[in-house]
A and B are shown apart, each in its own frame.
Chain A
Amino acid sequence: MSIEVKNLSHIYSKGTVFEHIALEDVSFEVGPHDFIGIIGHTGSGKSTLIQHINRLLVPTSGTIVVNNININEPNVPMKEIVKRVGIVFQYPEYQLFEETVYKDVSFGPKNLGYDEEKVDFLVKQSIEIMGLDYEEIKDKSPFELSGGQKRRVAIAGVIAMKPPILILDEPTSGLDPMGRREMLDMIKNMNKQLGMCIILVTHSMDDVAEYADKIMVFSSGRLMKYGPPAEVFADSKFLADISLDVPQSKAVLERLKEEGYEIDTSAYTTKEAAKEIIRVFGK
């Protein structure tokens, strides 16, 4: 297993009036090539959880093992952890600071102490993975790029460190539908072609339905469900109870069933749902 979390709890500002339980007894395992989607309401503990996976937060109790290393051992250097787990925070474009795109993307690999040749290779590769033209963009200032390009450069800055595990917090927020799809396709490619383990935190049921292999559902600091999308989306009443929706395509099927049509509501991706609708209405 590449990530093993056991009985993780996190309490903010313990012992003051601001005390707040962000995570409560969370346990799960993630495989080395999984594509995991994490969904949950605002304040459900998603962001707190991902910050534990590279020791930005220290658990109040519980253990986190990443690639057989217990990352909460104080003698494990931070560099060894960031080599293994890359985190792309929400609105990552706000972390850009260098004069040129090249310099900004090379910040991570340089911090890891790689030599110039390797840094050069990694920067070029990661800018290209993000679908940008390396020669055209490398000497530009990151501040003169468009919003979508900035975000890609910022993500390139994280994958330039070649982490086998990549965590992305709402990477599509604020993007137009086209940019959204492109971004998710790129992430899917990293998983399928480069074999990276992807953890995608999002609000969008449709995104996780289309892309994730397994889904974690969080509600008020607890891991409520963890399994393949078909299983998680099978119980739409449960999702409604913790104020989450089913994917739109599934909602359409359920609505048709309510109207009395004999339709199978198990599909949750657009493609599968379309097939089912054609099967029923196509004749």
Chain B
Amino acid sequence: MKNDVVVGQYYPTNSVIHRLDPRTKIMSTLLYIVFLFVAKNIWGYIAALFFLSLAVIVSKVPVGYVLRGLKGVVFIVCMTLVFNLIWTPGEALLTLGPIIITRQGVMASINMAFRLLLLITGTSMMSLCTATIALTDGIEALIKKVPFLGKVSHEISMMMSIALRFIPSLTEELDRIMKAQKSRGADFESKNLVKRIKSYVPLLVPLFVSAFQRANDLAMAMEARCYKGGEGRTRLRILKYQKIDFAAYIIVALAMGCIFATRYIPFKLI
């Protein structure tokens, strides 16, 4: 169970991508997401896939590890596939009783599936290559630049770093509770949906109880060390752009240019 959660997990290697400034990685990921929506046809996704694969190879993170993050979203992707397939009006390709599958529907569902898969793999790549502390530092530095959010940038990043910090702890906790309840004969794999949902009560109640307990303890510990927000706090790690960051920005810009250009490829693959 806990190994399925790849978003928010860090995979340490000593690659160039790991050494980049977190701001570079966050901005590149944001750009990548924007351009996934700019891409209009299959060529755009192929280009995005190409650049993403390049990033995976350079990062030295095993491909299997990156793809593991997709396990959890297979269901969502399948749902969007089906909905797009059935409910897009247009030129009919196939009629099965009341269900009409259209040419546009096929196109839309392929596009959506590609977009979702690339989106999730891309963002999990960012977290695999960036330690959580660096990630929140980067986010804080970036939020500071946003005019109406600048004042609360510290609070936002503190909340995010606490949330990220507790993902592994809570999954571990969940794993432990799950094992304990399994030892008491709990069945989490029932085929009956109602039974299955009910079987999660013995997991969620103890999990929430312990999450509240942890929150309480953490608040106490922070107060005991005189935490009172971001005002006047100095930092241990000061973010500074290096040469590799500028290089990375240029590469990303070129890649995005390529994806943009694919909009104008006239011939269709399908």
A238 at the interface (CB under 8 A from B): no
User: Which residues of the other chain, A, contact B3 by a CB distance below 8 angstroms?
Assistant: 13
Tell whether, in the assembled complex, residue A89 and residue B184 are in contact, meaning their CB atoms are under 8 Å apart: no
Tell whether, in the assembled complex, residue A16 and residue B187 are in contact, meaning their CB atoms are under 8 Å apart: no
Interface segment out of the listed A30-38, A60-68, A107-115, A225-233: A107-115
Q: Please encode chain A, from 96 to 126, with 1 for each CB lying within 8 Å of some chain B CB and 0 for all others.
A: 1100000000011001100000000000000
Specify which of A97, A111, A143 is in contact with B201 (CB 8 Å cutoff). A97
User: Which residues of the other chain, B, contact A78 by a CB distance below 8 angstroms?
Assistant: 182, 185, 187
Interface residues of B, Cβ cutoff 8 Å to A: 3, 11-13, 62, 65, 173, 176-177, 179-187, 201-202, 205-206, 209-210
A17 at the interface (CB under 8 A from B): yes
* A63-87 at interface with B (beta carbon < 8 Å): 78-79, 82-83, 85-87
Q: Cα distance A122–B185 when bound, in Å?
A: 15
Tell whether, in the assembled complex, residue B12 and residue A17 are in contact, meaning their CB atoms are under 8 Å apart: yes
User: Which residues of the other chain, A, contact B65 by a CB distance below 8 angstroms?
Assistant: 16
Question: Count the A-B residue pairs with Cβ separation under 8 angstroms: how many?
Answer: 68
Tell whether, in the assembled complex, residue A56 and residue B182 are in contact, meaning their CB atoms are under 8 Å apart: yes
List 14 additional contacts besides A13-B3, A107-B185; criterion CB under 8 Å: A16-B65, A17-B13, A79-B185, A82-B185, A87-B180, A92-B180, A94-B177, A94-B209, A95-B177, A95-B202, A111-B185, A111-B187, A112-B185, A158-B184
User: Which residues of the other chain, A, contact B201 by a CB distance below 8 angstroms?
Assistant: 97
Q: Cα distance A193–B64 when bound, in Å?
A: 53
A27 at the interface (CB under 8 A from B): no
Q: Cα distance A75–B115 when bound, in Å?
A: 40
User: Which residues of the other chain, B, contact A82 by a CB distance below 8 angstroms?
Assistant: 182-185
Tell whether, in the assembled complex, residue B185 and residue A161 are in contact, meaning their CB atoms are under 8 Å apart: yes
A–B pairs, 20, beta carbons within 8 Å: A13-B3, A15-B62, A16-B62, A17-B11, A17-B12, A54-B183, A56-B179, A85-B183, A87-B180, A92-B180, A94-B176, A94-B209, A95-B202, A95-B206, A97-B205, A107-B184, A108-B184, A111-B184, A111-B186, A158-B183
User: Which residues of the other chain, A, contact B202 by a CB distance below 8 angstroms?
Assistant: 95, 97, 107
User: Which residues of the other chain, B, contact A143 by a CB distance below 8 angstroms?
Assistant: 209
Q: Please encode chain A, from 1 to 25, with 1 for each CB lying within 8 Å of some chain B CB and 0 for all others.
A: 0000000000001011100000000
Return the 4 tightest CB-CB contacts between A and B, nearest first.
A111-B185, A97-B205, A108-B184, A95-B180
User: Which residues of the other chain, B, contact A54 by a CB distance below 8 angstroms?
Assistant: 183
Tell whether, in the assembled complex, residue B179 and residue A96 are in contact, meaning their CB atoms are under 8 Å apart: no
Tell whether, in the assembled complex, residue B13 and residue A89 are in contact, meaning their CB atoms are under 8 Å apart: no
B223 to chain A, nearest CB (A): 24
A51 at the interface (CB under 8 A from B): yes
Tell whether, in the assembled complex, residue A97 and residue B176 are in contact, meaning their CB atoms are under 8 Å apart: no
Q: Cα distance A154–B186 when bound, in Å?
A: 15
Interface residues of A, Cβ cutoff 8 Å to B: 13, 15-17, 51, 54, 56, 78-79, 82-83, 85-87, 89, 92, 94-97, 107-108, 111-112, 143, 157-158, 161
Q: Cα distance A17–B173 when bound, in Å?
A: 23
Tell whether, in the assembled complex, residue B180 and residue A89 are in contact, meaning their CB atoms are under 8 Å apart: yes
Tell whether, in the assembled complex, residue B209 and residue A157 are in contact, meaning their CB atoms are under 8 Å apart: no
Tell whether, in the assembled complex, residue A96 and residue B206 are in contact, meaning their CB atoms are under 8 Å apart: yes
User: Which residues of the other chain, A, contact B13 by a CB distance below 8 angstroms?
Assistant: 17
Q: Which of B180, B184, B187 counts the most A-chain CB atoms under 10 A from its CB?
A: B184
User: Which residues of the other chain, B, contact A112 by a CB distance below 8 angstroms?
Assistant: 185
Closest chain A residue, CB of each to CB of B175: A56
User: Which residues of the other chain, B, contact A111 by a CB distance below 8 angstroms?
Assistant: 184-187
Given contacts A17-B11, A17-B12, contact A94 B183 (CB under 8 A): no
Closest chain A residue, CB of each to CB of B213: A94
Q: Cα distance A91–B185 when bound, in Å?
A: 19
Q: Cα distance A13–B3 when bound, in Å?
A: 9
Q: Cα distance A125–B176 when bound, in Å?
A: 27
Q: Cα distance A81–B97 when bound, in Å?
A: 49
Q: Cα distance A56–B187 when bound, in Å?
A: 13
Q: Cα distance A15–B62 when bound, in Å?
A: 10
Closest chain A residue, CB of each to CB of B173: A94
Q: Cα distance A54–B183 when bound, in Å?
A: 7
Q: Cα distance A78–B210 when bound, in Å?
A: 27
B158 to chain A, nearest CB (A): 27
Tell whether, in the assembled complex, residue A94 and residue B210 are in contact, meaning their CB atoms are under 8 Å apart: yes
Closest chain A residue, CB of each to CB of B178: A56
Closest chain B residue, CB of each to CB of A87: B183
Tell whether, in the assembled complex, residue B206 and residue A56 are in contact, meaning their CB atoms are under 8 Å apart: no
Q: Which of B11, B65, B181, B183 counts the most A-chain CB atoms under 10 A from its CB?
A: B183
Closest chain A residue, CB of each to CB of B180: A95
Closest chain B residue, CB of each to CB of A86: B183
Q: Cα distance A275–B206 when bound, in Å?
A: 48
A145 to chain B, nearest CB (A): 13
User: Which residues of the other chain, A, contact B11 by a CB distance below 8 angstroms?
Assistant: 16-17
Closest chain B residue, CB of each to CB of A92: B180
B15 to chain A, nearest CB (A): 12
Tell whether, in the assembled complex, residue B184 and residue A157 are in contact, meaning their CB atoms are under 8 Å apart: yes
Tell whether, in the assembled complex, residue B179 and residue A89 are in contact, meaning their CB atoms are under 8 Å apart: yes
User: Which residues of the other chain, A, contact B176 by a CB distance below 8 angstroms?
Assistant: 89, 94
Given contacts A17-B12, A56-B179, contact A94 B206 (CB under 8 A): yes
